[in-house]
Amino acid sequence: DIDECATGIHNCRADQVCVNLRGSFSCQCPPGYQKRGDQCVDIDECTLPPYCHHRCVNTPGSYYCQCNAGFQLASNNHTCVDINECDANNPCAQQCYNILGSFICQCNPGFELSSDRINCEDTDECRTSSYMCQYQCVNEPGKFSCVCPEGYQVVGGRTCQDINECETTNECREDEICWNYHGGFRCYPRNPCQEPYVLTSENRCVCPVSNAICRELPYSVVYKYMSIRSDRTVPSDIFQIQATTIYPNTINTFRIKSGNENGEFYLRQTSAVSAMLVLVKSLSGPREHIVDLEMLTVNSLNYRTSSVLRLTIIVGPYAF
């Protein structure tokens, strides 16, 4: 047999492959090509039954497969498998969750996704709501905290509670009593009596009838202290005054003797022996009001006497 392909005496075209046959030869097309007439034309494998999982790219005499974003070719070069971006190269700033063909980022509590959907920005909880804290909100990375003014402590993370300085850091002298109020404390003398009054019991001062000066003065002055929060809702009953000794055949009348120059209070008689002090104008603190409440007693013989309750009202600096 003469090998026409080896000796070069064949007439195959340059784009064909010579195949020696016994007593002859054949001109064939290389792999990936098919004969059309005398010419070899490329076979478009991408038009044939699916070779590729996602995308097919035809090349002269061959083809190759491509995968969609988020996938990669398996070892068989045909199938596409999901890329776990979270394991391969975690693109997220905080938390990464792989999904088919992609991934999503999430943020830890106290943070929120930025516009690029990858990075995390601190959530300013103090800006989202004015009710986060009772007094003041302080934003911190990933969280927030509440603070209270001096004289208060944080309770339950958000609420402010008055500190009773009289129980914790009592700085009053021995001859003074400590009075706690909302946001602070005051020291008052244990003996508040001023001449010609003398102390007969705690906070009670009496003017002796033996002293001629006392005839023109109230028989007794009782000192009381109370505290209210700033900007209290009005009208509001705040203090009740009541006769400690009841005499027969007497008439008691009550009045605000002093301390009500701006009309913040009103005294409403509730019975023959008692009256209620009513707050009628809202008060803002910190401030101190001293109000003298007088009870005038008249008997059937026209004998008159009076007693005074000197009420010190301390208005706290805040509404809590």
- CATH among 3.30.70, 2.10.25, 2.60.40, 1.10.10 for 125-162: 2.10.25
Domain borders along the chain are 1-43, 46-82, 85-122, 125-162, 177-315
Residue with more model confidence, 37 or 310: 310
Fold of domain 85-122:
Laminin (2.10.25)
pLDDT band at 202 (very low <50, low <70, confident <90, very high): confident
CA distance 81 to 179: 77
Taking domain 177-315, whether its CATH number is 3.40.50.150 is answered by: no
- Model pLDDT, residue 153: 96
> Does the structure show a pLDDT above 90 at 159?
yes
CB atoms within 10 A of CB 293: 24
> Does the structure show a pLDDT above 80 at 36?
yes
SS (H, E, C) 52-107: CCCEEEEECCEEEEECCCCEEECCCCCCEEECCHHHHHCCCCCEEEEECCEEEEEC
DSSP 8-state class, residue 47:
G
Architecture of the CATH domain 1-43: Ribbon (2.10)
Nearest to 153 by CA among 134, 126, 132, 131: 134
- For the ranges 3-7, 14-18, 88-92, 221-225, the maximum mean pLDDT occurs at 221-225
Q: At 210, phi and psi to the nearest 5?
A: -70, -15
> Does the structure show a pLDDT above 80 at 43?
yes
Q: Which residues pair with 65 in a beta bridge?
A: 56
Contact 296, 309 (CB under 8 A): no
Rounded to 5°, angle at Cα 217 from 215 and 220: 110
Both tokens of residue 197?
């009054």
- Model pLDDT, residue 51: 81
pLDDT band at 318 (very low <50, low <70, confident <90, very high): very high
Q: Which residues pair with 310 in a beta bridge?
A: 223, 292
CA distance 83 to 101: 7
Distance in angstroms between the alpha carbons of the first and the last residue of the chain: 115
The two most distant CA atoms of the chain are separated, in Å, by 164
E strands in 166-206: 176-181, 184-189, 198-201, 204-206
* Mean pLDDT of the 251-257 span: 95
* Mean pLDDT of the 4-15 span: 89
CA distance 248 to 71: 102
Q: Is the pTM of this model over 0.75?
A: no
- Model pLDDT, residue 314: 96
> Does the structure show a pLDDT above 90 at 310?
yes
> Does the structure show a pLDDT above 90 at 88?
no
- Model pLDDT, residue 154: 96
Residue with more model confidence, 2 or 97: 97
Fold of domain 46-82:
Laminin (2.10.25)
pLDDT in tens, 274-305: 999 999 999 998 999 999 999 999 987 778 89
C-alpha pair distances (Å), 170 with each of 155, 158, 175, 177, 224: 22, 27, 13, 9, 20
* 46-82 and 85-122 in the same fold: yes
Nearest to 156 by CA among 183, 124, 182, 133: 133
